[in-house]
Amino acid sequence: DQQVKQNSPSLSVQEGRISILNCDYTNSMFDYFLWYKKYPAEGPTFLISISSIKDKNEDGRFTVFLNKSAKHLSLHIVPSQPGDSAVYFCAASLAGGNKLVFGAGTILRVKS
């Protein structure tokens, strides 16, 4: 039973437009959420995170929104660039826990 779900396997966006990647979770005890980005032949790298006490966190072109009542978070990339083409993983952590639960990933393709 997947506790973190990314229901869109892939997403294609035109360069300069907004990319929105979605993630749903089932465990209300998760208190910290992260996005990782993975290029082919490389390991995932940390992108941005958000604590459950916030509903938004912004870092440059990347913004993560958290809706606790809906158990939903989203990653917005504005404007999208071809170099953003990668697999994006959503991950969640339990309070006091040291391990992450990952979603299946979404492949983002940004077309120039």
List of residues contacting other proteins (CB under 8 A): 2, 4, 6, 9, 32, 34, 36, 41-46, 49, 89, 91, 93, 98-105
Least distance from C-beta 86 to other proteins, angstroms?
13
Least distance from C-beta 30 to other proteins, angstroms?
11
Least distance from C-beta 34 to other proteins, angstroms?
6
| Residues 110 and 44: beta-carbon distance below 8 Å | no
Per-position b or e across 44-76, b if 16+ CB within 10 A of its CB = beebbbbebeeeeeeeeebbbbbeeeebebbbb
